[in-house]
Amino acid sequence: MARKRALITGITGQDGSYLAEFLLEQGYEVVGMIRRSSTVNFERIRHIQDRVTLTPGDLLDEVSLIHMLREHRPTEVYNLAAQSFVQTSFSQPVFTGEVTALGVTRLLDAIRIVDPEIRFYQASSSEMFGKVVETPQRETTPFYPRSPYGVAKVYGHWITVNYRESYGMHASSGILFNHESPRRGLEFVTRKISHGVARIALGLDRELRLGNLDAQRDWGYAGDYVRAMWLMLQQDQPGDYVVATGQTHSVRRFCELAFACAGLDYRNYVVVDERFFRPAEVDLLVGDPSRAREKLGWKPEVSFEQLVEMMVEADLRMLRSMKE
């Protein structure tokens, strides 16, 4: 039997790197789409780069996507590429819409043209719930996005549903709540905290400036969440699933645990800075993952406390190695 072949857009990102690792373990051939630009950072996939095929493609250019699908003939496509930083979406709303919303349409349409049998995964986001109408949020909760990123993700989500229903495609969306790891970008608050703790512990910094410490999120481990993506595409029927831990923690609690990992008290180092508040804040996001648990047999394996510790230790190791 031929090996399954998966195409991942956004393979150089946090989720793309964990998904590529996971699929290689499952015996897949893995193809990763990268943009033709001089700024692609291969850091997260360097350890597996010789085991994956990288191919140029651009979510802004449907013709490039058609060529890519014709050349590599994947059985599964995971669309993880996006302009995914919420703060940036306020300063670059049109670009965010082009990539994060219309990019999904271009990819779905390319699949429809080349081979509608390809199974498709769309990375939807808890940011679509935004100003939440009910807690916890589940698959049937109405969307009320509070950022251009959230709005673009709602479009991407509904166009996936539309192609599934219009063309009978096996297209599924994972509504993923915040998922973190040592591979998270430094612009995200969790990594900003773990990296800041490591810098302070090693005497490189004296303070850490953050925004709203009372914002609460449902934080899980990215390595657990990519398993849910794969499980969705192994089902007989496509569908949409909330992927979350079902527990919520404040930014303040994350700080408390992270600083404690280095034997420090966060209150001595964290400075609240108004510059880091969002124009429209999302207050409480917490997901109900019961459908994913019942239908996919999925549950998170890494706890919140283990995640925080893992991130702080990874940043301490990295910074120590840079000092040597």
Distance of alpha carbon 131 from the chain centroid? 20
Other C-beta atoms closer than 10 Å to the C-beta of 267 total 10
Alpha-helical (H) ranges within the chain are: 14-25, 62-72, 86-91, 93-96, 103-114, 148-167, 189-201, 222-233, 251-261, 290-291, 304-323
Closest to 172 measured CA to CA, from 113, 97, 231, 116: 231
* Maximum alpha-carbon separation in the chain: 60
Q: Tell me if residue 28 is catalytic.
A: no
DSSP string, 123-163: EEEGGGT-S-SSSSB-TTSPP---SHHHHHHHHHHHHHHHH
Catalytic residue (one of 21, 29, 76, 127): 127
The span from the CA of 321 to the CA of 77, in Å, is 37
For Cα atoms 133, 139, 145, give the angle at the middle one, nearest 5 degrees: 45
Catalytic residue (one of 64, 84, 89, 125): 125
The span from the CA of 287 to the CA of 308, in Å, is 19
Closest to 81 measured CA to CA, from 28, 33, 21: 33
| Residues with Cβ within 8 Å of residue 34, at least 6 apart in sequence | 11, 12, 40, 54, 55, 56, 57
Catalytic residue (one of 78, 121, 149, 266): 149
Q: Tell me if residue 125 is catalytic.
A: yes
Q: Tell me if residue 127 is catalytic.
A: yes
Instruction: Kindly state the tokens that stand for 294.
Output: 């019942």
The residues annotated with a catalytic role in the active site are 125, 127, 149
